[in-house]
A = this chain, B = another copy of it.
Amino acid sequence: MNFQIQQIADWIGAEVVGDPNQIIDHFSAIEEGTSNGISFLANPKYENYLYTTEASAVIVSKELTLKEKTKATLLKVEDPYSAFAQLLRAYEAAIKPEYIGVDSSASIHETAVLESSVYVGAYSVIEGGANIKSNTEIHAQTYIGRNVVIGEGCEVYPGVKIYGGTIIGNNVVIHSNSVIGAPGFGFSPNSDGGFDKIPQLGKVVIEDNVDIGSSCTIDRATFGETRISQGVKLDNQVHLAHNVFIGENTVIAAQTGIAGSTKIGNKVMIGGQAGIVGHIEIGDEAKIQAQSGVTRNVKTNEKVQGTPAIDYTTFSKSYIHFKNLVSLDARVRELEQPLNKTTEK
């Protein structure tokens, strides 16, 4: 990249304070700013960096009143974070390689349907009956099983494996080595002391605008469906068991696992490495702290922590006392002292 500050200001509708002709050739965080870099200041907590940064340009709020001098040229906007994100997206779109055509080494079944402008990378396999809609990128070494439907404008990255019957909406992104639609974990004890498999005949449905990180595992339903509603964002190594339902715009951080048939509401925030047992319901806009183990229903807007997870405030307060249990025990021993003496007398 190589732009004048004025060009950038024009894209994001910013007022320039300082030299508009300087050249910008990279992005950076404000605390790591270097010459010819552009950064942003959204969180007032970081304002001090504005006066010490070596960044050539900083996107700031219109409201900001400078407390000291800054060497940086300022780009003043309504919402600095959004403006910076908009700039990043424009730049990303400009540099994104164009993925076109079907690699001659891809193995595509004669009954699979690829609509217009579909990309298929090397050594990918698309099985019979699959339907890939327009402008979707199927990158190298992916596996698309029988009768899988993938909507428009999706990106499926190298190594993703999608089992037969999975239905995926539009603008869905799935990162490398995630596995979608493998059978759920269903076994019933048999009379030999072992287990019989419960066939997993359902499917996975992923709605529009879902993002799935690397190495996630989303199992198909026993019957019916495992469903990820529109706008959901999954970080890496997330595990969703059979028949899980995730509501719209819910965000799940890395390494979280959700057991079978659990229903998660809309706009729920789930921290990393959380675990949620099967057959429960998590209400809309609930917050599950990282590493919590949820074993009961969680209400709308409720915030929980701990294993088993309880009300967040209760957990936090109890944990303060947990750290002081040695002294609490000592205080009780102290109180017991006169009693014991009394008893001994």
A289 CB, min distance to chain B CBs, angstroms: 9
Q: A100 in the interface, Cβ–Cβ < 8 Å?
A: no
Bits for A318-336, please: 1 = Cβ < 8 Å to B, else 0: 1101111110110110011
- The segment out of A16-24, A67-75, A232-240 that lies at the interface is A232-240
- The segment out of A6-14, A56-64, A182-190 that lies at the interface is A182-190
Q: A345 in the interface, Cβ–Cβ < 8 Å?
A: no
CA distance A205 to B185 in the complex (A): 22
**A255-B257, A326-B318, A328-B332 known; A209-B194 Cβ under 8 A:** yes
- Is B198 a contact partner of A27 (Cβ separation < 8 A)? no
**A97-B146, A107-B123, A267-B193 known; A293-B293 Cβ under 8 A:** no
- Contact residues, A212-241 vs B (CB, 8 A): 213-215, 217, 219, 222-224, 230-231, 233, 235-237, 239, 241
Bits for A141-165, please: 1 = Cβ < 8 Å to B, else 0: 1010010000000000111010110
CA distance A197 to B88 in the complex (A): 10
Q: How many copies of this kind of chain does the complex include?
A: 3
CA distance A172 to B105 in the complex (A): 30
- Is B195 a contact partner of A251 (Cβ separation < 8 A)? yes
Q: Which residue from B196, B253, B322 sits with its C-beta under 8 Å from A322?
A: B322
- Is B236 a contact partner of A88 (Cβ separation < 8 A)? no
Q: Which residue from B97, B193, B197, B329 sits with its C-beta under 8 Å from A89?
A: B197
Q: A121 in the interface, Cβ–Cβ < 8 Å?
A: yes
**A314: B residues at CB distance < 8 A:** 323, 326
Bits for A24-56, please: 1 = Cβ < 8 Å to B, else 0: 001111001000000000000000000000000
CA distance A93 to B207 in the complex (A): 30
- Is B254 a contact partner of A257 (Cβ separation < 8 A)? yes
Q: A339 in the interface, Cβ–Cβ < 8 Å?
A: yes
**A275: B residues at CB distance < 8 A:** 255, 272-273, 290-291
**A211: B residues at CB distance < 8 A:** 187, 197
A335 CB, min distance to chain B CBs, angstroms: 5
The listed residue with most B CB atoms (<10 A of its CB), out of A125, A158, A195, A339, is: A158
Q: Which residue from B195, B198, B338 sits with its C-beta under 8 Å from A231?
A: B195
**A158-B125, A185-B235 known; A223-B254 Cβ under 8 A:** no
The listed residue with most B CB atoms (<10 A of its CB), out of A143, A193, A251, A267, is: A143
CA distance A32 to B318 in the complex (A): 41
Q: A175 in the interface, Cβ–Cβ < 8 Å?
A: yes
| Pairs of residues from A and B, 8 with the lowest C-beta to C-beta distance, nearest first | A321-B325, A92-B199, A161-B176, A143-B158, A88-B199, A179-B214, A217-B236, A27-B223
- 23 A-B pairs with C-beta separation under 8 A: A27-B201, A85-B198, A88-B199, A88-B223, A91-B199, A122-B125, A141-B141, A141-B161, A143-B159, A163-B176, A214-B217, A215-B217, A237-B237, A241-B254, A273-B275, A275-B290, A291-B307, A307-B307, A317-B325, A318-B324, A324-B329, A331-B336, A335-B336
